[in-house]
Each structure stands twice: as C-alpha cells, then as structure tokens.
Amino acid sequence: MGRTLAEKVWDDHVVRRAEGEPDLLFIDLHLLHEVTSPQAFDGLRQAGRTVRRLDLTIATEDHNTPTLDIDKPIADPVSRAQLETLRKNCAEFGVRLHPLGDVEQGVVHVVGPQLGLTQPGTTVVCGDSHTSTHGAFGALAFGIGTSQVEHVLATQTLPMARPKTMAITVDGELPDGVTAKDLILAIIAKIGTGGGQGYVIEYRGPAIEKLSMEARMTICNMSIEAGARAGMIAPDETTFAYLKDRAHAPRGEDWDAAVAYWRTLRTDDDAVFDAEVYIDAASLSPFVTWGTNPGQGLPLSAAVPDPASYEDASERLAAEKALEYMGLSAGQPLREIRVDTVFVGSCTNGRIEDLRSAAAVLQGRKVADGVRMLVVPGSVRVALQAVEEGLDKVFTAAGAEWRHAGCSMCLGMNPDQLAPGERSASTSNRNFEGRQGKGGRTHLVSPQVAAATAVTGRLASPADLTDTPATAGV
C-alpha cells in the first residue's frame, strides 16, 4: 500500500523501532528561543550533558524583545534576564544565536525558512506550538515542551508515537479578496479546536497548490489551532523556487540530489488517510473570529451567534462565556464591531507578502481616528525588504506605527499589549482570553481585513471600503 507524505518523512527519520515502544525519530533542525529553553539548558548542566549536534541547532530572540528603542537596555528586568539567560546558555554550550539587533533576528518561524534551513523532508522541532509553520515546505515540524527541548539538545532525537494522518483537500479556487488566513480560519471553524488532535494534517488540492510559500506557511502555522501538532503541504516547484540560493539551501550537486529526493515527497495515489475533510474554496469569503477560541469564527458578513442555537451543552456554555468576555451580544452584525487596535504581524502573518497586502489596502488612506495600528515585521530581513519597497512609508503615512521585528502583540510578553477592555483586529493566531494583554479582546483576521478595519474602525474587508484612496506617491 502507498504511503502519505507524512508517513514518508516519518519513516525516513526512524532511528530505532521496537515493538511496544514509540519510534525514536531523528531531528534535522532544532530551533530555540528564550522562553522555552532556559530550564532545558539547566537540565543539561545538572546532568553534565552537552548539545549533541550544534550544527543542527540555532537560536533567536523573539517573544520578549521590544519593538521600540531596541538600542536601549530592555526596560522590563524579567524580560531582560530571560534574554540574557539565552545569551549565556548559547555562549556556554556553543549554540549559534541571532540576538536582538542582529540582521538575522526575528520570529523563530520566520527566520528558519528565510535562511533556507527549513527544507522538504526534514524533521523540525522547537519549543513552540507554531513550529507547524515549517510544514509548508513538506517538513514534519511540530512544537515540543521544554523536557523534549532538553531531550533533543542531548540526543538529537525524540521518542514519538506515530500520529494518524488527515487529508484536508481544498478544491476549486479562492475567490478574489479571500486569503490563506480566511481559509485556515474557516477550516478550524469546521473541524473544531480538537478536530485535528492526534493527527498530522496534509493540506492538498488545487487551491493549496496555487498558494505562495508565505500563504502556505500561514495555513500550516494554524494547524495547532485545529488541534493538530503538525500540518504539511507537499513540496513542488513553488517550494524549490523559494529555497533556491537561500543561505542554507543545498548547492551544486547537493541541490540536484536534494530536489530529486524532494520530488518523491508526495502522497502516493493509493495511500489511505485516517480521516479526510473536503473544503470548497469557491464558497469562502473573508473570515473573522467572534469568540475566545480560534474555532469560534464566521464569515465577516455574518452576525454574532446566539449561544442558545448550539445543541451541544459544552459548546453553548463556551459561547455564552465567550460573548460575556468579548462584550458582544447575539445577533450583532460582525461588521458593526468597533476596534481600537489593529495588529499586523506574528509568525502567522508577519512575512513580506502579508505586509504588502496590508499596505496595498492602506495606500492613500488613513487609519481611523481613535484606532492604533501596529505593524510588526516578522524578522529584520522582512523589515529591510519592506523598507526597500517603501511599505514602511505607506504605513506611517496612513498613521500606523512601524515597529521592529518580534512576536510583539501576538502574546504580549513585551510591552505591546492591549489594555483591559480594549479590542483588536489581529493577524495573529490566538484569540484566547487575555492573550494580547489582560482583559484584552481579540478578533483574528487576515492582513487585508486588518488594514480595512484600521481604515473604518469597524471589522471590514477591503471590498467594504467605498472611499477613493488618495493617489499621492510615496
């Protein structure tokens, strides 16, 4: 019987297989950041262990880093101590680190792909649930806890139970104005936050094949929000073109050998998935969340649902609690929801294509009075590219704040946070209670919807903008 993409990559990494035991998997790339690594390094130190494969390990600073005044000492002493701990650990153990201020610094899931380290058919782990992002290249990539970080540092392997496989086939073509973010939010709403639990998802079908690498990363990134540790997309010419000539991509004969291998990484025609889901791309429209988990989403044209309409008692209770927390009432049209903050950035939507699409909407327009808009590039490289294209000027001319790279308001570990009761339209990945700041309320949206919302001050898509943008050049 044929094998799925996930099974092929899995099988190629089995170091040891024994009856009654989890498989021992080899890890090709281990990404580190400051939040989930300190206790792992401590564990190594206590046991007198070293990092087994420094040449497969790389660290960056992202969660705590400020997006303003990065040349000054970090104001929060606890954040500063955590970053200093990473620097000390990397120096002591010999791990390559891109700290704040370095040209390769940025959100770990933006940095790996842009360096060309994330490659098809590799296993990628990080102490971060959004490691699923790297599956866009046909890598088997998943988030791990700190105990596993220590395990990978010490052994370059992980004992793992073989996951089940799920195919999500997206037929047809995404309509104009509908993005990868809308698609993944619609998928999560359909299968639920636990729908992918125990599975590796493979996204496939004509609508997926047409997507750019940036869009594929947005999709795979939020697999975890559907409960799946990993999401994958089979590598193709789009993938190879993205990787060619990147700093760590193979060269010469190695490139040819790699591409020959990468071409084998497709699910066989006779392979069988444990579960299959079908989505018709043509039926989709801009999608936003109204609640406090990423599965609580609806088309922008819909209204806030009535909790009484849920048959399942636990879903009904969850909806009631969500409306209470979000300060919304049943029946309220989503387009009438006012926001005071707009955040464009994160490992979900902080890449160059995301900034371009937000800027295209903002070009010649202004952010509405009373709305604060933060644009936080996913990495220093993304920021430099945006500046080269003049996108920073589009944002600042519109009245948005152009910031330095990092995780920023996605989770508010740095000073970029919502105040209690504030409401955001955010291109990030989680709308949990308090995620962007204590008492803050989050609506997850695409970069286009974020930009249009910034202009109107209410949840909106670019199609809702009836004004004529000013044609001033930048």
**Positions in 69-98 near other proteins (CB under 8 A):** 76, 78-79, 81-82, 85, 96
CA distances from residue 19 to 22, 24, 155, 388 in whole angstroms, order as listed: 8, 12, 21, 56
User: What number of chain residues touch other proteins (CB under 8 A)?
Assistant: 91
Q: Is 64 in the site for other proteins (CB under 8 A)?
A: yes
Of residues 373-412, those binding other proteins (CB under 8 A):
411-412
Query: What's the rounded Cα separation, in Å, for the pair 333 and 459?
Result: 10
Q: Is 175 in the site for other proteins (CB under 8 A)?
A: no
Which of 2, 11, 16, 278 forms a contact with other proteins (CB under 8 A)? 16
The answer to whether 333 and 303 have CB atoms below 8 angstroms apart is yes
Q: Is 245 in the site for other proteins (CB under 8 A)?
A: no
Query: What's the rounded Cα separation, in Å, for the pair 29 and 46?
Result: 24
CB-count burial class (<10 Å; 0-12, 13-18, 19+) for 71: exposed
**Pick 64 or 456: Cβ nearer other proteins:** 64
Of residues 190-209, those binding other proteins (CB under 8 A):
193-194, 197-198
Query: What's the rounded Cα separation, in Å, for the pair 211 and 174?
Result: 10
Q: Would you say the C-alpha torsion 212, 217, 223, 229 has a positive or negative sign?
A: positive
**Pick 88 or 338: Cβ nearer other proteins:** 88
Which of 155, 212, 238, 301 forms a contact with other proteins (CB under 8 A)? 155
DSSP 8-class letter at 247: T
Which of 66, 106, 113, 127 forms a contact with other proteins (CB under 8 A)? 127
Strands 341-344 and 372-375: parallel
**3-state secondary structure at position 228:** coil
Shortest distance in whole angstroms from residue 30 CB to other proteins: 9
Q: Is 46 in the site for other proteins (CB under 8 A)?
A: no
Q: Is 430 in the site for other proteins (CB under 8 A)?
A: yes
Q: Is 154 in the site for other proteins (CB under 8 A)?
A: yes
Q: Is 240 in the site for other proteins (CB under 8 A)?
A: no
Which of 87, 162, 248, 366 forms a contact with other proteins (CB under 8 A)? 248
Which of 36, 67, 239, 363 forms a contact with other proteins (CB under 8 A)? 36
Q: Is 279 in the site for other proteins (CB under 8 A)?
A: no
CB-count burial class (<10 Å; 0-12, 13-18, 19+) for 147: exposed
**Phi and psi torsions of 287, nearest 5°:** -125, 140
Shortest distance in whole angstroms from residue 466 CB to other proteins: 38
Q: Is 8 in the site for other proteins (CB under 8 A)?
A: no
Q: Is 63 in the site for other proteins (CB under 8 A)?
A: yes
Task: Find the angle CA(157)-CA(161)-CA(165) to the nearest 5 degrees.
Answer: 115
The answer to whether 140 and 229 have CB atoms below 8 angstroms apart is no
Is 90 marked as binding a ligand? no
Is 220 marked as binding a ligand? no
Q: Is 60 in the site for other proteins (CB under 8 A)?
A: no
Query: What's the rounded Cα separation, in Å, for the pair 148 and 59?
Result: 16
**Pick 407 or 454: Cβ nearer other proteins:** 407
Query: What's the rounded Cα separation, in Å, for the pair 457 and 465?
Result: 11
Known binding positions for [4Fe-4S] cluster = 347, 407, 410
